Each structure stands twice: as C-alpha cells, then as structure tokens.
C-alpha cells in the first residue's frame, strides 16, 4: 500500500492486512509503521470523541505501543492485530469518556 493510499483511507483487503500483521508479529518495524498508518487516524478519532484531542494523542500512542508489544501473542492466538487495536480503542474510549456523554 502506498502512502497516498493510507492518506486517503483506501480500503485494504483482508489478505494484505493479514500479511502486514504477520510481518508485525515477526518484529518487522516497517510493517508496524504501515499498520500504524492505517489504524492511527481511526483510533485517534475514536479516542478524541471521548477524551478530547490532547488526551487522545497520548492514549493513541500508548495503545499502539501496547499493540507492538503484544503483536506476536495476538497473532499466535489467531486474532487480528487491527481488530484488537480497534476493539481496545472503543473500550478505552468508553472507560475514559466524561460522565454524561
């Protein structure tokens, strides 16, 4: 996937995503950068809606670092890293949203 495709949120097929995730799980930093480029805007938007943009910056970074550290374990269980990250971002947004939102 090209950088331009990432910027325009072009869809990515499941086979390509799985290949990127397998490379991430094997410790490939370039693949992680590619995966981060795909996920970070969506994760940040989800967290921003719940916490505000400033707090979302740090939460997004922390979540993606956690994904890097857990990548091999996630893939070993047969799960998607992207799915794990997106699910965690929604859980985190719910847990950190302001009362009454």
Q: How many domains does the chain have?
A: 1
| pLDDT tens-place string over residues 50-75 | 999 999 999 999 999 999 999 999 99
- Looking at the domain assignment, is residue 5 inside a domain? no
Task: Give a yes or no: residue 52 inside a domain.
Answer: yes
The band of 12, judged by pLDDT with boundaries at 50, 70 and 90, is: confident
Tell me what the mean pLDDT of segment 9-21 comes to.
Answer: 87
Does the structure show a pLDDT above 60 at 99? no
Residue 101 lies in a domain: no
List all residues 6 or more positions away from 51 whose beta carbon is below 8 Å from its beta carbon.
Answer: 59, 93, 96, 97, 98
Tell me which DSSP letter residue 97 carries.
S
Q: Find the domain containing 68 and state its range.
A: 36-95
- Asked whether residue 30 is domain-assigned, the answer is no
Is residue 60 situated within a structural domain?
yes
Domain-located, residue 7: no
Tell me if 10 is assigned to some domain. Answer: no
């Amino acid at each position: 996937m090209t950088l331009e495709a990432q910027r325009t949120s072009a869809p990515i097929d499941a086979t390509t995503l799985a290949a990127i995730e397998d490379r991430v799980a094997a410790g490939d930093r370039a693949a992680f950068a590619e995966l981060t480029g795909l996920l970070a805007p969506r994760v940040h938007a989800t967290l921003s809606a719940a916490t505000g943009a400033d707090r979302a910056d740090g939460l997004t970074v922390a979540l993606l670092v956690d994904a890097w550290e857990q990548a091999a374990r996630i893939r070993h269980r047969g799960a998607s890293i992207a799915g794990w990250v997106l699910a965690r971002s929604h859980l985190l947004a719910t847990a950190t949203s302001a009362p009454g939102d």
